[in-house]
Copies of this chain bind each other. A is one copy, B any other.
């Protein structure tokens, strides 16, 4: 049993919460309090009604989420917003959100952990947002085919591959989640190959016109790494149990 405030402080420090400016209206940090005590830690990609229910069933009372409550503000507290909030309050479930800090973190960020899972090595970062680079650049495997093979092994749910760039890329850019903001910045860093979660439709044409390799592996699937890592580290630090709350999100 650990004080809520200590768990929050650990997560704030570990993710460097105050140093990373996020896209409005994201609100990183503690999003819902509980009774002040934490006994079990959980992680989920989304602050949705179902993840809250599953977390409550599992006895979790501190849930770390990547997409927090305030993208779609819970105003008014009626319907799903009421049920979601009531679940958290009645089940004593504290909710902690961490978005960009858990994308770009050099050790427990989604980009870094995805690179690691693909056996790629960090070279540099790119895509500055309010003072921090939110994208990662790594070395490349021997060939684009090898890269695709590793991606399909890691993401058996399917990889959308637009292979219009070089067959032997020298460097790989990684931006988990939505990759649309990254594409136009690839040329500046001399990279033609991007691994990401989802891309808007017109990027297919841009891939052809700019001769790029774009791999879209699923928004959800590329963003399970960070919350899970933070939850595990936090649980270990405080000697608490820990569990990941998976959903079958196909997007």
Contact = CB atoms under 8 A, between A and B. Distances in A.
Interface residues of A, number: 56
A219 B205 contact: no
Given A73-B73, A75-B73, A89-B90, A249 B80 contact: no
Query: How many copies of this protein are present in the complex?
Result: 6
A199 interface: yes
19 contacts: A31-B77, A32-B77, A32-B78, A32-B82, A48-B204, A48-B208, A48-B209, A49-B208, A50-B205, A50-B208, A50-B209, A67-B201, A70-B76, A71-B202, A80-B210, A83-B209, A89-B89, A160-B250, A201-B219
Given A27-B76, A161-B250, A201-B251, 15 more contacts: A27-B75, A30-B76, A30-B78, A46-B204, A48-B208, A48-B209, A49-B205, A69-B75, A69-B76, A77-B88, A83-B209, A85-B85, A85-B89, A86-B89, A162-B250
